[in-house]
Amino acid sequence: MIKIAPSILSADFARLESELDTVKTADLLHCDVMDGLFVPNISFGIPVLKRVREITGLIMDTHLMIERPLRYVEQFAKLGSDIITVHAEADQPRQIIEALEEIRRQGKKSGISIKPGTPAAVLEPYMDLVDMILVMTVEPGFGGQSFMGDMLPKISCVRRMIEERGLDIDVEVDGGINADTAKLCVDAGANVLVAGSTIFGAASRPEAISSLRGNV
Ligand code: DX5
Ligand code: ZN
C-alpha cells in the first residue's frame, strides 16, 4: 500500500492546527527536525512537536536531521513520535545502532536515512534494526527543491536488499515528490511518499494527496 506523508515544513506555522486539518486524509505526518549542523538550516524541535502530537491523529513520522541523534531519540519518542528516523551520516555506526535500538526500546518504529551521496551499501549494518529506510531524493535541509532522478537506481537497490533478506521494511522517499516523480519512485520500489510543497502548495490538499496515491 502506498502511504502519503505531508511534510509540515511547507505548512503555515502560524496556523498549524487548521493546516493539519487539511491533510488528515494522508497516512503519516512527516516532521523535519533540523539542527543547523547536520544540515544548513534550523526548523523546529521538541516543544513544537509536543503540540503537533496533541492536534493530529496521523502517524507521526519524525525525520531527525541532527548530529549525534542518540542524544535526543528518547525525547522524540516520549513526546509521541510513532516513527523516528536518524541519518546514517550523523554519527559513527556504533552510535547509530544504539540510537536505532533505543528507538525500538521506546516502543517506536525506527528508520534510517541516507543522503544523495551515500551509497545503499552503508545500510547493511542496520537492516535488521529498522522498520523504514528513507532514501533522500534531494540534499536534506530545505523544501521545494527539484527531485534527483539519479536516486531511482538507489531506491531499487534498497528494495532489492530488503527482499533478498526477506524483511518487512518500508521504503520512504523525500524531496521533490510530485505526481510524476511519485510514480517513478513507486515503480522503483518506494511505498512511503513524503511531499511538502506539492501538498501544502496545492489549491486542494485532499486532491493533491489523492493524486500522489495515483488515484487521479
Ligand atoms: C528536506 C526535508 C523534506 C522537505 C521536502 O530536507 O527532509 O521533508 O520538507 O519538501 P518538498 O516535498 O517540498 O521537496
Ligand atoms: Zn524529511
Show pLDDT as tens, one digit a residue, over the chain (216 residues). Answer: 899 999 999 999 999 999 999 999 999 999 999 999 999 999 999 999 999 999 999 999 999 999 999 999 999 999 999 999 999 999 999 999 999 999 999 999 999 999 999 999 999 999 999 999 999 999 999 999 999 999 999 999 999 999 999 999 999 999 999 999 999 999 999 999 999 999 999 999 999 999 999 976
C-alpha cell at 188: 522503483
Q: Collect contacts of 40-45 with beta carbons under 8 A, ≥24 apart.
A: 40/141, 41/141, 41/142, 43/9, 44/13
Ligand 1 pocket test target in 10, 114, 199 with most atoms within 8 Å of CB: 10
Q: Annotate 151-167 with DSSP letters as a single string.
A: GHHHHHHHHHHHHHTT-
Catalytic site residue 174?
A: yes
Nearest-atom number in ligand 1 for the CA of 195 is: 12
C-alpha 74/C-alpha 124 separation (Å) is 24
Whole-number pLDDT of residue 216 = 62
Whole-number pLDDT of residue 168 = 98
CATH number, residue 54: 3.20.20.70
Whole-number pLDDT of residue 215 = 74
Catalytic site residue 21?
A: no
Whole-number pLDDT of residue 105 = 98
Domain count, the chain: 1
DSSP helix/strand/coil, 127: helix
The neighbouring-strand residues paired with 33 are: 64
The side-by-side arrangement of strands in the sheet containing 83-87 is: 3-6, 192-195, 170-174, 132-136, 109-114, 83-87, 59-65, 28-34
Instruction: Please give the residue range of the domain that contains residue 167.
Output: 3-214
Whole-number pLDDT of residue 152 = 98
Ligand 2 centroid from CA 7, angstroms:
7
Nearest-atom number in ligand 1 for the CA of 141 is: 6
